[in-house]
Amino acid sequence: TITKKVLMLPGDGIGPEVMRQVQRVMDWMAKKRDINFDVTEGLIGGASIDAHNNPLTDETLADAMAADAVLLGAVGGPKWDNIPFDIKPERGLLKIRKEMGLFANLRPALVFDALVGASTLKEDVVKGLDIMILRELTGGIYFGQPRGIEERDGVRFGFNTLVYSEPEIERIARVAFDMAMKRNKRLCSVDKANVLESTVLWREVVERVAREFPEVDISHMYVDNAAMQLVRNPKQFDVMVTTNMFGDILSDCAAMLTGSLGMLPSASLGAADETGARKALYEPVHGSAPDIAGQDLANPLATLLSFAMMLRYSFDMGDDATMIETAVQNVLKGGLRTADIMQPGMAKVSTSVMGEAVINELNKLV
C-alpha cells in the first residue's frame, strides 16, 4: 500500500462543507483501495486571517511544499470584505499558486449525460461536451508590476499591468500542445492580439511552439469571440489555452454548459522536476458561495472531481479516478440532485446526502 501526503485546505464558506465529503471518499479509499492518505489540515484565506491575521502563513506554505498534493476548498466571503487589500483571503490563494509555481491550471468542462437538461443551454448544444480550458495561472495581469492605487496631481489612479514573458508563454503553450496530443489534437489559443501587445507576443510564441506539433490543428481566437463561441457552439473546441484573467472568465462561462459551477473541478500544476514529479493543487472552480454557505446546500461534486484529478495527475491512479467519476455519473443517473442542478422529477438532496450517495455507488463498483 502506498501512502501519499495530502494537505487539505478547506478555507471558507462552503469550502469546509464540500471538503468533508471528499474526506469521506478518502477514508473509503483507504479501506477499499491500495492507498493510504497521510492527511494534514491547514488554514488558508479568511480562516487563516481569523487565526493569524494572515491569509497564508509560512507554516501552511511549508506544509503545501512538503505535501504530495494539496486539495483546496474555497476562500473569501463578506466577513473579510473590509480588511486591507494585501491580507484579503484571495491574496492567500494567489500567493500559494505563485509560491508553488503552479502555472498550468486545467479546467475541464465535461457534461454528464444525466445533466444535459440541467444546463441553461439547449440539449443538443451541450450533449457530450468534453473540453479542456488551460488557464495560465501565475502571470499576466494578476501579478504584473506596477500595480496599485495612487494619486497624481489630485487625481486617483487604479492600475494593473498585463505582462507576459516569452518563457512564461512558451511553457504554458507546451502544456497545451502536449494536452491536445493526448486528446483530439485541436488547440485554440485565446488572446486579444488585435489590441494588447502582451498577447501579440502570446500569439507569436504559440505559433512558434506549434511548429513542433505539426499534428495539432492550431487556431487563434479573440477572447470576445471565444466567449460568444463557447455559448453558441462549445463542441467546436477541444483544448483552449489562454491567459490568467481570460481563463478565469471563460471557465466560469464554460461551467454553465455543464449545468452548474458546482460541477467544475480543476488542477493547478507546476513544472516537472528531475523525477517527473510536479507540485500540484486541486480545487473546484467555484468560490466560497456565501449565499448558500452553512446550509448543507452546496454541490460537493466539483471538489470530489478535483480529488479524482489528484488521483489521475499526481498519483498515477487513473483507474481510481475513473471509478470516482463513474460513481458520480451513477448518482446523477439515479436522479439525486443538489439544488444548483435540480431538475423536474429529480430528488433534491443536501451536500452530505450527495457525498453519502457517491460512497454507496463506489461500494457497488469495487
- Known binding-site residues for substrate equal 97, 107, 135, 224
Looking only at the bridges linking them, the beta strands covering 2-11 and 186-191 are unpaired
**How many residues make up the chain in this entry?**
366
Q: Does 354 bind ligand NAD (CB under 6 A)?
A: no
Tell me the residue ranges of DSSP E strands in the chain: 2-11, 35-41, 69-74, 104-110, 130-136, 144-152, 155-161, 186-191, 217-222, 239-242, 267-272, 278-282, 336-337, 347-348
362 phi, psi to nearest 5 deg = -60, -40
Q: Supply the minimum distance, in Å, between the C-beta of residue 252 and Mn ion.
A: 6
Give the range of 89-97, 113-121, 125-133, 160-168 binding ligand IPM by CB under 6 A.
89-97
Q: State the Cα–Cα distance between residues 220 and 208, nearest whole angstrom.
A: 13
E strand or H helix at 167: helix 166-182
Q: State the Cα–Cα distance between residues 37 and 55, nearest whole angstrom.
A: 26
Catalytic residue check, 164:
no
Determine which residue in the list 248, 320, 325, 361 makes contact with ligand IPM, applying CB under 6 A: 248
Catalytic residue check, 222:
no
Q: Supply the minimum distance, in Å, between the C-beta of residue 282 and ligand IPM.
A: 12
Q: Supply the minimum distance, in Å, between the C-beta of residue 269 and ligand IPM.
A: 14
Q: State the Cα–Cα distance between residues 133 and 189, nearest whole angstrom.
A: 10
- Segment 221-280, which members bind Mn ion (CB under 5 A)? 248
- Helix, strand, coil % over all residues of the chain, rounded to 5: 45, 25, 30
As annotated, the binding site includes 77-90, 97, 107, 135, 224, 248, 252, 287-299
> Cell for 277?
514529479
Q: Supply the minimum distance, in Å, between the C-beta of residue 247 and Mn ion.
A: 9
Catalytic residue check, 68:
no
Set 191, 238, 248, 320: catalytic member: 248
Q: Does 90 bind ligand IPM (CB under 6 A)?
A: yes
Of ligand NAD, ligand IPM, Mn ion, none, which one does residue 94 interact with (CB within 5 to 8 Å by kind)? ligand IPM
Catalytic residue check, 27:
no
> Cell for 309?
484529478
Q: Does 309 bind ligand IPM (CB under 6 A)?
A: no
Of Mn ion, ligand IPM, ligand NAD, none, which one does residue 189 interact with (CB within 5 to 8 Å by kind)? none
> Toward ligand NAD, which CB reaches closer, 75 or 221?
75
Looking only at the bridges linking them, the beta strands covering 130-136 and 104-110 are antiparallel
DSSP lists the bridge partners of residue 130 as 110
CA-based nearest residue to 102, from 147, 81, 72: 72
Q: Supply the minimum distance, in Å, between the C-beta of residue 124 and ligand NAD.
A: 25
Tell me, residue by residue from 248 to 267, as one string, x for binding to ligand NAD by CB under 6 A and - for no binding.
Answer: -------------xx-----
Catalytic residue check, 142:
yes
Set 27, 50, 113, 224: catalytic member: 224
Supply the DSSP symbol for 117: G
Determine which residue in the list 18, 22, 47, 94 makes contact with ligand IPM, applying CB under 6 A: 94
SS3 143: coil
Q: State the Cα–Cα distance between residues 349 and 335, nearest whole angstrom.
A: 10
Could you list the active site residues? Answer: 142, 192, 224, 248, 252
Question: Using CB under 6 A as the criterion, which residues of the chain lie in contact with ligand IPM when the complex forms?
Answer: 76, 90, 93-94, 248, 285, 287
Question: Using CB under 6 A as the criterion, which residues of the chain lie in contact with ligand NAD when the complex forms?
Answer: 14, 74-77, 90, 93, 261-262, 283, 286-292, 298-299, 302, 340
